[in-house]
């Protein structure tokens, strides 16, 4: 039986497939030893969701575990307002709507649908500037792209010769000193 993919790893994989290896390597350590400013801000932003203290409205599901047998993914949603059918993924600050953000919330969408929930609207919420970014319900092509990325994730190996380094991403990676692809002179 194949292991399920953690939904939040989709965004990480698209940032850099190797980062998931280093994230798992550090999983037993105190996060303060390796998290950078952005990761700390993200953790603070999600605290109310993780503790289920964002709202007291019973119709709003917060930090709920989700699963899709079809996709082979597991994870958590940030917020789902059952009354309005609105799924919201919160980020500390959204400067760009990256593909990883979209595929992550699409996976959450498909999980909720498979679990019997009626999702009518999807959005990303940028906490620091209080902006909502509406996202369309995934098209068949977008679902196909999600399935393609999940397939790539299942096949990826750390020593894969086809790995392409993006130096701009390397410069922002909290694991760059551990990675044999990173060269501080670059």
Residues 139-156 have pLDDT tens digits of 999 999 999 999 999 998
Task: Please report whether residue 167 resides in a domain.
Answer: yes
Q: Cα(168)–Cα(43) distance, rounded to whole angstroms?
A: 23
Q: Cα(8)–Cα(107) distance, rounded to whole angstroms?
A: 9
User: What is the model's pLDDT at position 58?
Assistant: 83
Task: Please report whether residue 185 resides in a domain.
Answer: no
Task: Give CA angle at 157 (154, 160), nearest 5°.
Answer: 130
pTM value is 0.80
Task: Please report whether residue 180 resides in a domain.
Answer: no
pLDDT score of 103 more than 80: yes
Residue 130, Ramachandran bin (φ over 0: left; ψ between -120 and 50: alpha; else beta): left
Task: Provide the residue range defining the domain that includes 18.
Answer: 5-172
How many Cβ atoms sit within 10 Å of the Cβ of residue 67?
14
> CA 97: distance to chain centroid?
12
Q: Cα(74)–Cα(6) distance, rounded to whole angstroms?
A: 5
Task: Please report whether residue 32 resides in a domain.
Answer: yes
Bridge partners of 27?
A: none
Q: Cα(176)–Cα(169) distance, rounded to whole angstroms?
A: 9
Tokens of 50: 């993780």
Beta strand pairing status for 86-91 and 121-126? Answer: parallel
Task: Please report whether residue 64 resides in a domain.
Answer: yes
Task: Please report whether residue 178 resides in a domain.
Answer: no
Task: Please report whether residue 184 resides in a domain.
Answer: no
CA torsion angle 108 51 21 166 (round to 10)? 70
Judged by average pLDDT, the poorest of 18-22, 51-55, 110-114, 149-153 is 51-55
Domain at 139, CATH number: 3.90.320.10
Task: Please report whether residue 182 resides in a domain.
Answer: no
pLDDT score of 75 more than 70: yes
Find out whether 164 and 158 touch, Cβ atoms under 8 Å: no
**H-assigned helices in 115-173:** 140-155, 167-172
> How many domains is the chain built from?
1
| 5-40 per-position pLDDT tens digit | 999 999 888 887 777 777 766 666 555 544 455 545
């Amino acid at each position: 039986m194949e292991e399920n993919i953690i939904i939040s790893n989709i965004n990480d994989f698209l940032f850099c497939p190797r980062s998931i290896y280093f994230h798992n390597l550090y999983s037993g350590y105190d996060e303060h030893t390796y998290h950078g400013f952005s990761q700390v801000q993200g953790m603070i932003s999600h605290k109310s969701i993780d503790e289920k203290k964002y709202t007291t409205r019973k119709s709003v599901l917060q930090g709920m575990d989700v699963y899709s047998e079809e996709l082979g993914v597991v994870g958590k949603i940030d917020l789902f307002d059952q009354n309005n059918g609105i799924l919201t993924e919160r980020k500390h600050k959204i400067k760009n709507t990256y593909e990883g953000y979209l595929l992550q919330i699409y996976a959450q969408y498909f999980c909720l649908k498979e679990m019997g929930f009626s999702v009518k609207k999807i959005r990303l919420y940028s906490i620091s500037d209080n902006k909502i970014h509406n996202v369309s319900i995934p098209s068949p092509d977008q679902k196909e792209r999600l399935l393609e990325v999940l397939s790539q994730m299942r096949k990826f190996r750390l020593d894969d010769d086809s790995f392409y380094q993006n130096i701009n991403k390397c410069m922002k990676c909290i694991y760059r000193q551990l990675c044999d692809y990173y060269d501080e002179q670059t």
